[in-house]
């Protein structure tokens, strides 16, 4: 006696369903923020590569990473401003 076989059953309801997140269409803001994340990853790798090829100066590495972080924050702020959220 399965309630799903009896749509006329007074308490019958469709089972709940939600799309997996990877199938859900992404908003413009989500896509923008993903682009920021990808660029930040690239900038971090660039800083590390640059640091390794220029004598591993910790101060220079810190400056590079600070710039990457500032760029990342600005990117997110621009996403929110440009996508209306």
Q: Could you report the per-residue pLDDT of 12-21, keeping only the tens digit for each? A: 666 677 767 7
Mean pLDDT of all residues in the chain?
A: 84
pLDDT in tens, 3-13: 555 556 666 66
Helix axes 58-82, 28-53, angle to 10 degrees: 170
Rg of the chain taking only CA atoms, in angstroms = 24
Prediction pTM value: 0.69
Average of pLDDT values for 21-32? 83
What are the phi and psi torsion angles at 2 (to 5°)?
Answer: -95, 125
Is 64 within 8 Å of 53 (Cβ atoms)?
no
């Amino acid at each position: 006696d399965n309630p799903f076989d009896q749509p006329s059953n007074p308490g019958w309801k469709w089972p709940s369903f939600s799309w997996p997140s990877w199938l859900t269409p992404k908003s413009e803001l989500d896509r923008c923020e993903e682009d920021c994340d990808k660029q930040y990853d690239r900038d971090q790798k660039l800083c590390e590569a640059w640091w390794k090829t220029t004598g591993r100066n910790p101060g220079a590495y810190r400056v590079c990473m600070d710039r990457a972080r500032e760029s990342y924050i600005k990117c997110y702020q621009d996403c929110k401003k440009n996508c209306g959220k």
